[in-house]
Homo-oligomer: A and B are copies of this chain.
Amino acid sequence: MKKELDPWSTQLISDYDYLFKEFGLQHFDAKLQKKLSGHRLYRRGIVFAHRDFDQFVQASKNKQPTAVMTGIKPSGEFHLGSKMTAEEIIFLQKQFNSRLFYAIADVEAYADNGLNFQQSHQNAVDNVADLLALGLDPEKTFVYKQSENMHVNNLANIFARKTTLNTLEALYGHQNLALYLAVLTQAGDILAPQLDAFDGPKHTVVPVGIDQDPHIRFTRDLSAKFKDEFGFITPAATFHKFFRALNGETKMSKRDPLNIMTLNDDNVLLKKKLANALTGGRATAEEQRRLGANPYVCVVFELMKYHFYDDDSALKDMEQDCKSGKLLCGECKAIRLKHIQEYYKKHQEKKKKARAQAEQILEQPIAFKKKKSN
C-alpha cells in the first residue's frame, strides 16, 4: 500500500513509522510478503508489521511444530474486527499447517463486563459458529474457555512471581488489579501452547491489532524470564491496522454498537448502516461527476478493501469509478450493499450448519495431560 494512495491514514502511517523505530516492529520483507500474498490482508498491507514472524515461517519450513494463538472476549457478536483476526488465523493455520489455540476469555468478560459464564458461553457458541463458517479447521484447533483451562491460570500465577507492579504500571498506566490479572492471564494464553501438556515448546504466532503490542512485548519478556524453566521459544506476532467505525471517527469496537457491523446483521440493518456510513463524496452530484470523489476517506471503500472484495480487480474498479466521478456515492453504496448482502447470506447459511458443532466444541471437557505440566 503506497502512502499517497491512502491519504486518510497518512497520520496513522506516520505513527506506525514511529512504532517501527521506537518499539522495533519489523516490516515484512519482499520474500515474506510474497509467501503471504494469497490473502488480501497481507497483500494489501492491512497486516503491516510483525515481530519474529520470519522465524516462525522458517520453523514451519523446517517441519518443526508451530502454533497460531488468539482469542476473543465473548462479550457479544463477531464484528468486522473479530472477523479480520479470524480470517488471518484461519489463513495462517492452513498456510503453515499449524495447530490453532483459541481462547474464550470468559474470565476477562466477567471482570470487564460483568458477564457470567453462562452468558459468555452463549456468546462463545455464536462466535465459534462464525469461526467455523469462516473456514476454521476444527480438527487442528483447540478452543478453550479461560474458566476451564488450569494451565493458563497456573501460568498467570507463576508469571506473577517475576512481574512487578512497576512493570505493569509502565506498560499500562496505573490500573486496577483485575486488569493486571487479565494481562497475566493473556500471557498465560499465549505461552500455554508451549507447555508439555500441549507437546512442548514450539514457534507460536499471535495475530493482533497494533494496540495489543504492549501485551506482546510483556509476554515476550516473560517467555525469556521463564525460558530455563519451560523452554519457551519467544512468541512471534503479526499486527494489523485498525478498521474504522462506520462514521469514520474511531476504530470499530463493540463499545459503540451503532457504528459497527456484526456478522449477524440482517439485510435491513445492513442497508441502514451502509446508508449512514461516511464516504468521500463531494458537496453536490454535479461537483462529484466533474471532479470525482475520494475513496481513501470512504468507509465503504475500506469495507470492501478490508473485508468483502477478495478480488483485486473489483476493488480497483471501485476505486476508479469513485475517483472518476462515474459513480455517485448512493449508486456505489447500492452496488456494494448487494455484494455484502450476498456475502452475509452465504455466511449465515454456513453458520447455521456449524452451530451444533460449535456447541459440541465448547462443551467438550478439556483433557489435561498431567505429566510435567507444571
User: Known: A150-B147, A150-B148. Is A110-B165 also a contact (CB below 8 A)?
Assistant: no
Contact A164 B147 (CB under 8 A): no
Contact indicator A177/B158 (Cβ below 8 Å)? no
Are B150 and A118 interface neighbours, CB within 8 A? no
CB distance from A36 to the nearest CB of B (A): 36
Partner of A117, one of B117, B163, B373: B373
Contact of A59 with B by CB under 8 A: no
Q: Say yes or no for A180: interface residue by CB 8 A criterion.
A: yes
A157 to B161, CA, bound (A): 16
Among A154-169, those with CB < 8 Å from B are 154, 156-158, 160-161, 163-165, 168
Question: In the complex the two chains form, what is the Cα distance from A168 to B117 in whole Å?
Answer: 27
Instruction: Tell whether A107 is near chain B: CB-to-CB under 8 Å.
Output: yes
Q: Is there a chain B Cβ closer than 8 Å to A181's Cβ?
A: yes
Q: How far is the CB of A166 from chain B (nearest CB, A)?
A: 10
Chain B residues, CB < 8 A from A122: none
Q: How far is the CB of A349 from chain B (nearest CB, A)?
A: 31
Q: State the majority secondary structure of interface residues on A.
A: helix
Which of B118, B147, B176 is in CB contact (< 8 Å) with A154? B147
Which chain B residues lie closer than 8 Å to A204 at the CB level?
A: none
- A157 contact set on B, CB distance < 8 A: 107, 110-111, 153, 178, 181, 185
Please give the distance in Å from A359's CB to the nearest CB on chain B. 13
Report A179-210 CB contacts with B as 1/0, cut-off 8 Å.
Answer: 01100110000000000000000000000000
Q: Is A276 an interface residue (CB 8 A)?
A: no
Among B116, B158, B368, contact of A374 (Cβ-Cβ < 8 Å): B116
CB contact under 8 A between A177 and B154, given known A116-B374, A374-B110, A374-B117: no
Contact residues in B for A373 (Cβ distance below 8 Å): 117
Contacts of A148 in B (CB 8 A): 150, 368
Give the chain B neighbours of A117 by CB distance below 8 A.
154, 373-374
Least CB distance, A279 to chain B, in whole angstroms = 42
Residues in chain B near residue A365, CB distance under 8 A: 368
Residue among B110, B118, B181, B372 making CB contact with A181, cutoff 8 Å: B181
Cα distance A160–B175 when bound, in Å?
Answer: 12
When distances are taken between beta carbons in the complex, the residues of chain B under 8 Å from A116 are 374
A170 to chain B minimum Cβ distance, whole angstroms, is 14
Shortest CB–CB separation between residue A198 and chain B, in angstroms? 16
- Decide if B164 touches A111 in the complex (CB within 8 Å): no
Binary contact track A93-110/B, C-beta < 8 Å → 1, others 0? 000000000000001001
The 8 closest A-B pairs by CB, nearest first: A160-B178, A117-B374, A153-B153, A116-B374, A161-B178, A160-B177, A107-B157, A160-B181
Q: Which residues of A contact B (CB under 8 A)?
A: 107, 110-111, 116-118, 147-148, 150, 153-154, 156-158, 160-161, 163-165, 168, 176-178, 180-181, 184-185, 365, 368, 372-374
Given contacts A118-B374, A147-B150, A148-B150, 12 further A-B contacts (CB under 8 A): A107-B158, A110-B157, A111-B160, A111-B161, A116-B374, A148-B368, A153-B157, A157-B178, A160-B176, A165-B177, A177-B180, A365-B368
